[in-house]
Amino acid sequence: MDVSIGELAGLLTSFCWSFTSIFFTMSGRLVGSAVVNRTRLAFALILITTAHWITQGEPLPLDADLSRWGWMALSGVIGFIMGDAFLFQAFVLIGPRLSMLIMALNPVMGAVMAWALLGESLAGMELLGMALAIGGVVWVVADRTHGKTLPDATSRNYLIGILCALGGALGQAGGFIASKQGLEGDFSALSGNLMRLLVATSLIWVWTLANRGVLNGFQRLREQPQALRFILGGAIAGPFIGVWLSLIAVQNAKIGIASTLTSLTPIMLIPLSRVVFKEPITGRSVFGTLLAMAGTAILFLA
C-alpha cells in the first residue's frame, strides 16, 4: 500500500516529538524544568516567526481580530505556560516515555471537555477508544518497577511525576479547545500557533523578570552549556520541524489518520528510552502502550 506524503509527515512528526521529549528531559535534569520551558519558548518564537515571515509575507498576523487574539492567547497560557510547565517537570521526575504515554490521554480529556463545554457528542466507538486509552495508561503506570531506573526515585516523586504528566495532558487539551475557537473560519494554523506562542513567551519572560529569575537562569545555562544545546535541539525538533510536519500531515491526509500517526510518540519512545536512558522495557509496558495507542486511534478514527 502506497504511503502518502501526509502519512509520512505524520510518522515523522511522532519521531521528531520523541527526540524533543528526550532533549527536554536531559536539559531539565541539568538546569531545571522552568529554565528549559522559558528558554525553548524563546527559541521556538524566533524560529516560527521566521517561518511565518517567509511563508505568509509578514512576521505577525496583524490582521487578526481581537477575539481571535484572545482565544489564541488563552490557548498559549493554558497550553504552553501551564500545561508544559507540568509536562517538563514530569520529564524530570518520571522520564519522557511514561510522561508522553500519559500525554496520550490528551485527546480523551479534549473529547470530554468538548462534550462538556462545546456540546459535541460522543459516539459508542469514541467511548470505547477512551476506555482502552485510559486502561492502557493505567496498566503501565501501575507497574512500579519503572521507578527503579529513575533519578531520586521515591514513591512520592513517582506520584508527583504522574500527576504532573496528567496536568500536562489537561493543559494541552484545554489549549486545543481554546485554539479551536481561535482558528474558526479556516484561519492559518501557523499564524494561530505564532499568536499563542508570542503571548506565552512574553508573559513567561515578564514573570521571570518580575521575580528576578533571569540572571539565575543564565547562570545555570552557562554552567551547563550542554543543556543549552539540548534545549535548542528540542526547540528545532518540536515546535519548529514537528509542528510544520504535523501541518503537512493534516493538509495531505485524513484528519483521523493524521492525528493517529502524529500520536505514536509513546511507541517510538520504548526503544529510544531503552537506548538513551537504559530503561528496562517489560512486556507489560509494551502491551499497555499498544493498548493506549489503539484506544487513541479508535478515538481519532471513529
Task: Please state which of the ranges 39-48, 61-70, 75-84, 142-151 shows the lowest mean pLDDT.
Answer: 142-151
Mean of all residue pLDDT scores within the chain: 87
- Tell me the mean pLDDT in the region 101-106: 89
The pLDDT of residue 1 is above 50: no
> What is the rounded distance in angstroms from the CA atom of residue 7 to the CA atom of residue 5?
6
Cell of 9: 509527515
E strands present in the chain: none
**Residue range 185-194, pLDDT digits in tens:** 878 888 988 9
The pLDDT of residue 23 is above 50: yes
pTM value is: 0.88
Residue 240's Cβ-count burial label (10 Å; 0-12, 13-18, 19+) is buried
Cell of 295: 484506544
**Residue range 110-139, pLDDT digits in tens:** 788 878 877 778 788 888 989 999 999 999
**Domain residue extents for the chain:** 5-301
HSE value, Cβ hemisphere, 13 Å, CA-based, for 206: 7
Give backbone dihedrals phi and psi of 129, rounded to 5 degrees, phi first: -60, -40
Give backbone dihedrals phi and psi of 62, rounded to 5 degrees, phi first: -70, -15
Q: Tell me the pLDDT band of 299, cut-offs 50, 70 and 90.
A: confident
> What is the rounded distance in angstroms from the CA atom of residue 108 to the CA atom of residue 134?
8
CA 97 → CA 49, 150, 162, distances in Å? 30, 12, 12
End-to-end, the C-alpha distance of the chain in Å comes to: 22
Task: Please state which of the ranges 21-35, 36-50, 70-84, 174-188 shows the lowest mean pLDDT.
Answer: 174-188
**Residue range 204-251, pLDDT digits in tens:** 999 999 988 888 889 999 999 999 999 999 999 987 888 778 878 877
Task: Please state which of the ranges 59-63, 149-153, 184-188 shows the lowest mean pLDDT.
Answer: 149-153
Residue type, 77: V
